[in-house]
Amino acid sequence: MNFLISGGAGFIGSYLCDKFISEGHTILCIDNLLSGKMKNIKHLLKKSNFYFLEKDIIEQIDINYFFDKLDYIFHFASLASLPYITKYPIHTELTNSIGTYNLLKLAVRYKSKFILASTSEIYGDPDIHPQVETYFGNVNTIGPRSVYDESKRFAETLTMSYFNNYGIDIKIVRIFNTYGPRMACDGRVVLNFIHQAINDENITVYGDGQQTRSFCYIDDLIDGIYKLANSDYNNPINIGNPQEITIEKLANKIIELTNSKSKIIYKSLPVNDPLKRCPDIYRAKEILQWEPKIDLESGLNEVIQYEKENNIYMS
Ligand code: UDP
């Protein structure tokens, strides 16, 4: 089959490329390389069933040159980390609005299936815990995070309208915090802490560190996305690991696993930083027979090992 993967040079997108190439599908990976990296896909470039197109999905997309049929669109392009979305707010909004629109138009034209990478951020700073898919969320429409949160909410709405109005077979995956090898050190907590710990630098905990997150290892996430993509389910579904941890405990765990001399220092909490986050995965368990298998400690050890081998900042 022919697949288009937007954001295919990004952290999650590149693992999707690997998965579908290994199954013998033909992939058109589209990425503007703003946060995606060629090194994530360089091992695929020589494959005859892999095409790379450096392009921004905000612009019109024409795939005639590559395919005359397109079976599935995986829409995984978007900036996601706080430093990036605050540096490029309008670009983030347009990727998730115009970019999603451009890809949905392709889905109509080629009668492709369509899967949208949505996010736990659509729940904002939640007052329902853990977050179940039927919860509408608590998002500040004009806060610094809203450029991502609200545009992903709009992307979900637009995607659902294409399901209702054009009968496109759509899927919406709400991705909770994910980590793994290849993740960029772009301000997100797991990579920040691992880099700081490996280099015996201060570990920067924001706020009092009592806010929680629930971290899912990349292999588990890809397995969940794969099962959703192959299902008949068209409503949003949470994919994440419900093993919840405070950020302070995460810092201590990483210090311990890296045998680091680092000390924790406390910095101010970013505006509208959600105080807790944990997925309710009942729906994924029931509908996809999916649940995560990799516990936090094993996953962190994989990333620590990878970063020790690849971390350019290490002395
Ligand atoms: N965080 C932190 N120190 C850092 C980076 C992040 O304490 O160096 C905190 C951040 O304030 C948030 C949590 O870790 O409470 C997760 O942040 P991240 O940016 O990784 O993901 P998100 O907030 O989007 O879930």
For atom 11 of ligand 1, the residue with the nearest CA is 206
Q: Tell me the CA–centroid distance for residue 75 and ligand 1, in Å.
A: 24
Q: Tell me the CA–centroid distance for residue 189 and ligand 1, in Å.
A: 5
Strand-pairing partners, residue 72, are 3, 113
Is residue 148 part of the annotated active site? The answer reads yes
Before 130, cis peptide (omega within 30)? yes
Q: Ligand 1: residues within 6 Å at CB?
A: 82, 177, 188-189, 192, 204-206, 211, 213, 247, 269-270, 273
Q: Pocket of ligand 1, candidates 188, 191, 303: which has the most ligand atoms within 8 Å of its Cβ, to mutate?
A: 188
Q: Which atom of ligand 1 is nearest to the CA of 187?
A: 5
CA distances to 95, 98, 139, 222 from 60, in Å: 12, 9, 30, 28
For atom 23 of ligand 1, the residue with the nearest CA is 273
- pTM of the model as a whole: 0.98
Task: Out of 15, 51, 101, 148, pick the active-site residue.
Answer: 148
Amino acid type, 43? H
> Could you read off the pLDDT tens digit of each residue along the chain, which spans 315 residues?
999 999 999 999 999 999 999 999 999 999 999 999 999 999 999 999 999 999 999 999 999 999 999 999 999 999 999 999 999 999 999 999 999 999 999 999 999 999 999 999 999 999 999 999 999 999 999 999 999 999 999 999 999 999 999 999 999 999 999 999 999 999 999 999 999 999 999 999 999 999 999 999 999 999 999 999 999 999 999 999 999 999 999 999 999 999 999 999 999 999 999 999 999 999 999 999 999 999 999 999 999 999 999 865 543
Question: Contact, 283 vs 223, CB < 8 A?
Answer: no
Distance CA 297, CA 105 (A): 42
Q: Pocket of ligand 1, candidates 206, 208, 278: which has the most ligand atoms within 8 Å of its Cβ, to mutate?
A: 206
pLDDT of residue 312: 54
Q: Tell me the CA–centroid distance for residue 294 and ligand 1, in Å.
A: 21
Q: Please count the other Cβ atoms lying within 10 Å of the Cβ belonging to residue 174.
A: 24
Q: Tell me the CA–centroid distance for residue 222 and ligand 1, in Å.
A: 22
Phi, psi angles (nearest 5°) of residue 170:
-105, 155
Q: Which atom of ligand 1 is nearest to the CA of 120?
A: 25
